Each structure stands twice: as structure tokens, then as C-alpha cells.
A and B are shown apart, each in its own frame.
Chain A
Amino acid sequence: MSKPKFAMYWAASCGGCEIAVLNIHEKILDVDANFEVVFWPVAMDAKYKDVEAMEDGSILLTLFNGGIRNDENEHIAKLMRKKSQILVAFGSCATEGCIPGLANFTPIKEVVDTAFSTISTENPDNIRPQTSYMMPEGEIHIPTLYPVLRTLEQVVDVDYFMPGCPPESHQIAAVIDLVIQVLQGKAQLPPKGSIIGAGNSTVCEECKRQRNLKTIKAFGRIQMIHADPELCLLEQGIPCNGPATRSGCDARCPTAGAQCIGCYGPAEGVVDYGARLIAAFGSVIDSNDPAEIDRILDGLVDPAGQFYRFNLAGSLLKASIPAIKSNGV
């Protein structure tokens, strides 16, 4: 009997998810022992037309990382959906947009201008990429950029979501173990649409720092504050996203002395990540005077970036139809 097929693809992403997969160390041998890797552009040579030639549903498991930024991403997303039985949105980009999704704050023209015409770029003729170009050998194409970045779920049907930037290696190993057990008939897959490889609570729940009643008179950036190593960071005025962020990472950043920035996405039951943080931060500011509240909030230099660093494309507002429409659709 031939082994079940495994694929992994990167769309608009940084490649960190692939490294996280390789970081599972010797567990990767289990992947090789149990799966035939048929398509994984970062690790092996494969052509899109080879995948196109496969039978529909012939790949058992596809881990798809990266957001949908251009028509190539969208084409492969649809292709992998068709060819895969289980499609996993893998990592923060595919589940909620992540850092590439922050470009949704900016009109696409500005994004392109920044990439091709800033002082650090040598481009005297102001050349812009053309999506098609006639060469002596024939017409060549590059992918067409979309006005906004979309999450995988906004483009195709997704079976499971695995958050994290990147997902923690021990969580990846656990998920791979589960799939292997399912193959051996020893376990069952979770219901479709589940979030896998993460906890059901918040980062605060996993954080070992001591928590008291929070009364914040001033917010400050972490590099400006001598933080107490034992005390809750938010309590010390360091904007920590723990209260809204899904557990699963063992609170790595707060344990190491840095604030949680929210890469594991919204916790169970949170509809909009930023809204939950606005509610949480609003509760702990210690002032009832509008002028003083404004002064305290000045300490949060980039609130939208703070609250939506990983979640913008997947947030209520930037995934909303009015917002997308006015982005030129």
C-alpha cells in the first residue's frame, strides 16, 4: 500500500512556518515514515503542473501557510483545496493575515510606492512591475497583486486552523502525532473548523507572573521601563496582549520578559481580537477624567498596530464587505 500524501505550501509568508516544521527535529522522520511528501516548494522540487495533474482529493494532508496576496496565491489555494482531503490553514498568516496583513492599513498604491520608490531603493526611472511583458521569446507573466491581503478562509473552505507565528514546534509535533494516530485508527479527527495545536484559554492563564488588581496610570514601551521580573507586565503599564490571545505557546514571551504581541490569535470565544483588547485595556486605565485618559492613551503609540498586529486581515472590520469594497473592489 502506498503511503498517504502530504503537501505544504507557502503563499504570502516569511518562511518561518517551514522552519518551525523542520524544528520538530527527529519527529520529521515520522512524517517521512508515514507520509509521501508530494509537494513542498521550500524543501523539494515540484512543479504546479504536477499538482494539477494529480487526482482530486489524492493528497491527504496539506499545511498551507501564508496569506492570499496575489492571483498566484489564490490559484494555488484553490488548487490545494481541490487536491487535498484535509486543508489546514497553518500559522498566523493563513489563519488571520499576520504581518503581511498589516498592509491592509494602507492603500495598495502606497504599498507599491514604498517598495519601489523610497530613498533606500535605486529606481531612477520609477519602474513598476508589469503583470505581463512581451519578450523576444514570448509573453511572460508575474502574479497580479491584490488590493488587500486575505486569509485562506476568505478564499477557500478550510478544515482546520493552526495559529501561531510560527506555530510552536511541540504543537506541530502533537498535531502530526494525532494525524498518524488517526491513520492507524487509534484516534479521531476533531470536528471540522476546529483550531488545532493550541490551547482553549488565554496566554494570561499560562503566564506565571504574579497578578494583582490592575490600575494603570501610564503606558510605556518595554524598552523604556525597568520591568519587575515577577509582576504582570500589563500591571506595570507595558501593553501586553495576553488577555485576548489564545494559549498554546506556554506564555513564552512574558516568561522571557517581553510582552505578548498576540501571535496565537484570538482566544476561544473572542469575535474580534482588537475589540477584546480595547475592552481589557479600557477597564484597567486608572482615570475617570477624559483629558487624563487621553494623556494615558498617548502612551500607546500605535493602538491599531498594537491590537491588530497579527489579526488585521481576519478582523471584523478589515474583512468586512464595506471595507473591502472601498479598497477598490
Chain B
Amino acid sequence: MSNQNFEPVIIGFTCNWCSYRAADMAGTARMKYAPNIRLIRLMCSGRLDPTFIFKAFAGGADAVLVSGCHPGDCHYIEQNYKALRRYHLMKRVLVQMGMEPGRLKLLWASAAEGAIFAEEINKFVEEVRALGPLNWNAGNAFIPIHESEPMEVNA
């Protein structure tokens, strides 16, 4: 299947002090980056509950970007390290659940790195475009559940 026309939906979590400022800087400098990413600002990448990421995937996101201050630069001293560890652990779980590892990306960006931020987002969008739409356990078809019984997300 060609993924040329596929427009991935990506949720990006940014921290208030570095990576969101980087996005801001990219905007102020009128740098263009792909519109596929929807940025959500948190105070810190350490605030990023893995539930948010799972909820994004459950709700139909094709990929998720986690971004924060560079190691050692965290506004809250060391919370971005927690984000780093959770990212590694989460990735292992998501892979076990049948997802390609490339759908979860970690990016450190300082407030001065607007250009890098924009460039990385463009790169990520193309990587996800190549992966295609998120498809858990592709090809697992046996007997369909009745159409009249739609599954709901319990959240």
C-alpha cells in the first residue's frame, strides 16, 4: 500500500520551559513545519503521565512525540529524567502490544532550538507517513464481533 497520500495524526507533548518555547521560536521566526502534529503544553515532561500517551494512541493518533528540556536543563531539576525512563519503559510495552517502535519519539529541544525542533518534526512526520496508519496486530482476522456492538473506550 502506498502511504504517499496518508496524513498521519501526531500528538506532541511539550514542556513549558524548553520545547514549547522552541516551537514558539519556530513560529516567531516563521519557520514552516508539517501541520500533522498537534502540540500540547505541559509544565514539564515529568508531568507527562503515560496514560496521556496511551489515550492518544487509543483515540486514533498514529504517533506521539515526547519532548522536553535537554538532560541537565530541566526547570524542575531532574524530572525530564523520569520522562526519559518512562519513555524507554513505555516503548517496550507498546512494542509488545504490537506497535512499531518508530511511533513514539523522544526529542530534547531547548528554547533556542526552534530550527531543530521544526526539522525534527518534519522528519518524524515523514517517518510516520512511511509506517502508514496505526494498525495493531495487522491481519488478525478470525470472526468479527457483531457490527451492532461497537466497543467504547472506558475512560
Which A positions have Cβ atoms within 8 angstroms of B?
A: 74, 105-109, 112, 144-148, 150, 153-155, 271-272, 274-276, 278-279, 281-283, 285, 287-288, 290, 293-294, 297, 300, 302-305, 307, 314-324, 326-329
Contacts and interface: CB of A to CB of B under 8 A. Distances in A.
Contacts of B98: 105
A278 B151 contact: no
B58 to A, nearest CB: 3
A286 to B, nearest CB: 10
30 contacts: A105-B97, A107-B137, A112-B142, A154-B151, A272-B54, A272-B55, A274-B54, A274-B93, A275-B49, A275-B50, A282-B89, A283-B85, A288-B84, A290-B84, A293-B84, A293-B85, A293-B88, A305-B96, A316-B54, A316-B154, A317-B58, A320-B151, A321-B58, A322-B57, A326-B135, A327-B140, A328-B140, A328-B142, A328-B144, A329-B144
Contacts of B84: 288, 290, 293
B86 interface: yes
Contact of B54 (A109, A148, A275, A314): A275
B51 to A, nearest CB: 4
A303 B93 contact: yes
A283 B88 CA distance: 12
A278 B142 contact: no
B50 A322 contact: no
Contact of B50 (A108, A278, A302): A278
A105 B51 CA distance: 19
Interface in B125-155: 134-145, 147, 149-155
B144 A326 contact: no
A321 B147 CA distance: 12
Interface of B: 49-51, 53-55, 57-60, 71, 78, 81-86, 88-90, 92-93, 96-98, 134-145, 147, 149-155
Contact of A279 (B49, B57, B141, B143): B49
A274 B50 CA distance: 9
Given A108-B140, A288-B78, A271 B151 contact: no
Contacts of B145: 146-148, 150, 324, 329
A152 B115 CA distance: 50
Given A290-B84, A316-B55, 12 more contacts: A106-B137, A108-B140, A144-B143, A146-B145, A147-B145, A154-B154, A278-B93, A290-B88, A316-B51, A318-B97, A322-B136, A324-B145
B76 to A, nearest CB: 13
A271 B55 contact: yes
A216 to B, nearest CB: 10
A109 B49 contact: no
B96 A319 contact: no
Nearest 7 A-B pairs (CB), nearest first? A328-B141, A320-B58, A107-B140, A282-B86, A304-B96, A275-B50, A108-B142
Contact of B86 (A144, A279, A290): A279
B137 A327 contact: yes
Given A321-B150, A324-B151, A303 B58 contact: no
A148 B150 CA distance: 13
Contacts of A106: 137
B140 A297 contact: no
> Which residue among A146, A304, A307, A317 has the maximum number of chain B CB atoms within 10 Å of its CB?
A317
A288 B81 contact: yes
A278 B91 CA distance: 10
Given A271-B51, A285-B85, A290-B84, A147 B142 contact: yes
